[in-house]
Every structure is written in C-alpha cells, then in structure tokens.
C-alpha cells in the first residue's frame, strides 16, 4: 500500500526536516525505518570488486541491525540493496521519480524483493513524475539526510555519489569511503574516513575508530618541496613543479603519485595537482605547535 506523508504528519521522517521546507511530502511503500541508517552509494558502471564489497558490507551491517539506504540505481546501489535483502535486513530505496513506475526498469524485481523482505521505497515526487536528471540530485539529498553516515564504495572524480557525500558533510553527517577508486581516494584526501568492512563502519559510527594523524614529509625533502609549491586552489602540472623544484620530471611524477596515495595531494583531470585539505590541516597543526 502506498502512503503520502506531508511534513505535519507524525510519520514524516524526522531527519528530512533538517532540509528546511523541502520536501513538502514523501510518498512511501513498505516500511519506513525505525532505527539507524547508513547510506551506501557509488558508481553505476561499477567493477566486480566494488559490487562485491558493497554487497558484503551491506550484509555485515544488516547482521548488526543497521539499516541501509541507497538510491536504487544500477551498480553499487543495487548491490548494497541486494546484500541487505539476502541477509534479511532492512533497506530503503529512494526514488528519483514517482513510485508508480520505479526506475531503473532493470531493478524493478529488486524493488519488489525489497518490499517482500520488509524494506521500503520512498520518493519526494508524485506518481507520474519522470526520472529526469534534476530529480536524482534531489534524491541524493534525501539519501544523505536520512543516514547517520554516507559511505561511497566506488566512484569516478565527477560521480553523483560525491554529491551525496558533500550533502552529508554539509548536514554534519559522517562521511567514509572505500579506498581504491579515483573518486573515493579524493574523498579520503579531503577528510573522509577510509573503511574496508562492516566492522569498520560500526566502530566509526560509535566513535571507536579514529583517523591516524597525518605525517608530513620533511620540508627539506624532495616530497616536502613539492608540497610547499602546491596550492589548495591553484592546480599545477608535473612539468611546472619540476621546473619550480629543480627535480627531474620522472621523479616528480613518481613522488606526486606517492603523495596522492598518502592523501596529501589531490590529482585532477589533465594530470594537474592540488594540495589536499588533509595536508593543509596537518601543516597548520605543525605551525601551531611551533
């Protein structure tokens, strides 16, 4: 049975009230969540490894009684929903269209399985509303708002999943990422917690997992010289940095990759580089201790 809940209805999700006056209503099918939710999002064209990670972590969370909310899309979203259904847990899928014609069509059996397993579907749109681009941005805000934490499992640098993570950060929610893909590595360099298992997620939720302190290379080392020439806002390429530091280009490229893997450098399209927020914070911390 489908229900339409306005903001003054007792059943309207309390966490959505943090989004101001929007949405004015939500349409629902199945069960609304009663406990904690973790959002799991990621690429539609995901790798097999990413899909397996999403399904495994979702199942691990289900075993601990934690619900999973996602966007019902192909790829990582669908894998997370499937992991919960197979573990007999609770999952909620947020639609970017009306509930009368859930999208994508390829996932309609999955949506039916979610309902059969005691989960739910939710949409901030009326029946008949088509799945257009702006609706998915709105859907991402709903996903982020409903969850205590958003985990990006796999993403490219311009992925919509990163929008969900940004919304979560603005709402003061925890943000985490699974290392390995370019979008997730960029999130981690910006401060997201790197996680690899359901146990990590639970420990982070309950404050039992803290990020290790960032150690900067010595300012006089070749890596330290590269960081000194990088900016938070103005990207430089490797040849420019080689000229500025007097280092061989091949060594600059190798050192930039190593710094990127440590979360100290952000790599942008076109092989351009920025100082990461984590590196900037660590630098400020060192200055404060002097």
- Walk along the chain (290 residues) and give the pLDDT tens digit of each residue: 899 999 999 999 999 998 988 999 999 999 999 889 999 999 999 999 999 999 999 999 999 999 999 999 999 999 999 999 999 999 999 999 999 999 999 999 999 999 999 999 999 999 999 999 999 999 999 999 999 999 999 998 888 899 999 999 999 999 999 998 989 988 998 889 999 899 999 999 988 887 777 788 999 999 999 999 999 889 999 999 999 999 999 999 999 988 987 888 988 888 899 998 888 888 877 665 55
Bond before 123 cis per omega within 30 degrees: no
Contact (CB, 8 A) for 119 and 91: yes
Half-sphere exposure of 189 (CA within 13 A, CB side): 27
Contact (CB, 8 A) for 153 and 80: yes
Tokens of 148: 């205590």
Report how far residue 184's alpha carbon sits from residue 219's, in angstroms, rounded to the nearest whole number: 27
Report how far residue 272's alpha carbon sits from residue 125's, in angstroms, rounded to the nearest whole number: 40
Task: Specify the pTM.
Answer: 0.83
Half-sphere exposure of 246 (CA within 13 A, CB side): 2
Measured over the CA atoms of residue 73, residue 263, residue 269 and residue 274, the dihedral's sign is positive
Report how far residue 275's alpha carbon sits from residue 142's, in angstroms, rounded to the nearest whole number: 31
Task: Tell how many helices (H) and how many strands (E) occur in the chain.
Answer: 11, 12
Report how far residue 268's alpha carbon sits from residue 103's, in angstroms, rounded to the nearest whole number: 32
| Secondary structure element (H or E) that encloses residue 82, with its range | helix 76-86
Q: 3-state DSSP call for residue 195?
A: coil
Residues 6+ apart with CB under 8 A from 229: 236, 241, 244, 245
What domains lie within the chain, and their CATH numbers? 2-205 (3.40.50.450), 222-289 (1.10.10.10)
């Amino acid at each position: 049975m489908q229900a339409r809940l306005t903001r003054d209805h007792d059943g309207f999700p309390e966490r959505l009230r943090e989004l101001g006056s929007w949405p004015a209503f939500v349409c629902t099918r199945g069960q609304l969540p009663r406990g904690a939710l973790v959002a799991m999002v990621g690429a539609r064209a995901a790798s097999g490894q990413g899909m397996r990670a999403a399904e495994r972590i979702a199942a691990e969370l289900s075993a601990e009684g934690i619900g999973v909310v996602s966007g019902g899309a192909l790829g990582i979203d669908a894998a997370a929903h499937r992991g919960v259904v197979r573990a007999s847990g609770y999952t909620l899928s947020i639609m970017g269209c009306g509930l009368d014609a859930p999208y994508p069509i390829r996932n309609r059996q999955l949506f039916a399985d979610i309902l059969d397993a005691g989960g739910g579907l939710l949409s901030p749109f009326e029946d008949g509303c088509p799945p257009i681009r702006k609706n998915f941005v709105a859907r991402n805000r709903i996903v982020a708002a409903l969850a205590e934490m958003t985990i990006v499992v796999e993403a490219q640098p311009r992925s919509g999943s990163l929008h969900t993570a940004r919304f979560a950060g603005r709402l003061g929610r925890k943000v985490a990422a699974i290392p390995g893909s370019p979008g997730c590595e960029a999130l981690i360099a910006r401060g997201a917690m790197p996680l690899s298992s359901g146990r990590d997620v639970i420990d982070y939720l309950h404050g039992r997992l803290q990020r290790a302190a960032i150690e900067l290379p010595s300012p006089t080392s070749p890596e330290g010289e590269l960081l000194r020439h990088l900016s938070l806002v103005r990207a430089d390429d490797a040849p420019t940095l080689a000229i500025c530091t007097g280092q061989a280009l091949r060594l600059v490229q190798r050192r930039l990759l190593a710094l990127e893997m440590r979360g100290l450098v952000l790599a942008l399209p076109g092989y351009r580089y920025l100082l990461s927020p984590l590196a900037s914070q660590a630098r400020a911390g060192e200055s404060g201790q002097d």
